[in-house]
């Protein structure tokens, strides 16, 4: 699949930028806690250039030039630095994430972690791989034996109590909950069996597109908080629940219950 080959090349080119600029960039704020660095822009430039040379007629949706594009054709969905807050502070947990969509279906996806030299990639129907090794989600049978991961949206300063309510309940019911700060890596680590379940509010398509396919091709399940699968690229991320098949129903039940309680207040 030529798209997957070019996708991997673009990931590695973006990763070179992240490695070369790590610890050397300042940041500015796009929002109260939404950071932007020189590396975001430089990585995005090289990723788009790599893809556009191979597929000049394709549409691009990237975080740092967030424009409305049609989702029915061939679309590349790019996060040049997923984990910018980490990156800007010198915390080595960030990645380049790219998904390729055609007719609203994610057909290829990849995430590159330049700090661990880990390249996660998947093709629809072809499985998910880490540096060429096939991935499979964990076999953890119950929430009580699970290690979970989550993240908090940019409006957390206004809704901290709401988000922490979910965190508190899952922390109480599982082995523990982690919060790494990079949605694409959260989903890839789930696909690799390093964690068992993941939930987050308020993500964008570029946060989710690649990771969604990687999790599903590794045998996991990805839905919104109603339990429904995503049907359009543009709706991805506002509610994200990913888990192995055994833990997903338990997590979904808890999320639905908490959301219902919140609506009642």
Q: What confidence tens digit (pLDDT) does each residue in 198-208 have?
A: 999 999 999 99
- pLDDT band with cut points at 50, 70 and 90 for residue 33: low
Q: Any idea what the CATH number is for the domain that residue 223 is in?
A: 3.40.190.80
pLDDT tens-digit map of 133-156: 999 999 999 999 999 999 998 787
Across the chain, the runs of DSSP E, i.e. the strands, are 27-31, 34-37, 59-62, 74-82, 95-102, 105-113, 118-123, 127-130, 133-134, 147-150, 176-178, 197-201, 221-223, 239-243
pLDDT for the residue 265: 44
Q: DSSP string covering 5-38, please?
A: HHHHHHHHHHHHHHHHHTTS--EEEEETTEEEEH
Please check whether residues 110 and 226 belong to one and the same domain: no
Distance CA 188, CA 200 (A): 14
**Backbone dihedral angles phi then psi of residue 154, each to the nearest 5 degrees:** -70, -20
Residue finishing a domain among 134, 156, 191: 134
Does residue 19 sit in the same domain as residue 115?
yes
Q: Which domain holds residue 66?
A: 2-134
Residues 253 and 170 in one domain: yes
Domain boundary among 114, 134, 154: 134
Amino acid 157: pLDDT:
78
* pLDDT surpasses 70 at 59: yes
Tell me the pLDDT tens digit for each residue of 67-103.
656 566 899 999 999 999 999 999 999 999 999 999 9
């Amino acid at each position: 699949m030529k798209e997957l080959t070019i996708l991997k090349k673009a990931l590695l080119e973006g990763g070179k930028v992240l490695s070369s600029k790590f610890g050397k960039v300042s940041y500015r704020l796009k929002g109260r806690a939404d950071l932007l660095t020189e590396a975001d822009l430089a990585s995005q430039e090289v990723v788009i250039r790599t893809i556009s040379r191979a597929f000049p007629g394709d549409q691009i949706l990237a975080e740092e030039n967030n424009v409305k594009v049609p989702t029915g054709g061939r679309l590349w969905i790019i996060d040049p630095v997923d984990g910018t807050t980490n990156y800007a502070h010198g915390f080595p947990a960030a990645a380049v994430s790219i998904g390729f969509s055609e007719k609203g279906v994610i057909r290829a996806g990849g995430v590159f972690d330049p700090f661990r030299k880990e390249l996660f990639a998947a093709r629809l129907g072809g499985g998910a791989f880490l540096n060429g090794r096939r991935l499979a989600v964990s076999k953890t049978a119950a929430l009580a034996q699970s290690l979970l991961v989550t993240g908090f949206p940019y409006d957390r300063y206004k809704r901290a109590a709401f988000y922490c309510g979910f965190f508190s309940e899952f922390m109480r019911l599982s082995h523990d909950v982690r919060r790494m700060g990079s949605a694409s890596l959260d989903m890839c680590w789930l696909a690799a069996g390093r964690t068992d379940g993941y939930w987050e509010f308020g993500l964008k398509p570029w946060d989710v597109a690649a990771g969604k396919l990687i999790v599903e091709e590794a045998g996991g399940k990805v839905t919104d908080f109603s339990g429904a699968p995503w049907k359009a690229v543009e709706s991805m991320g506002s509610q994200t629940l990913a888990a192995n098949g055994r833990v997903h129903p338990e997590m979904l039940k808890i999320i639905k219950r908490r959301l219902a309680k919140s609506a009642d207040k």
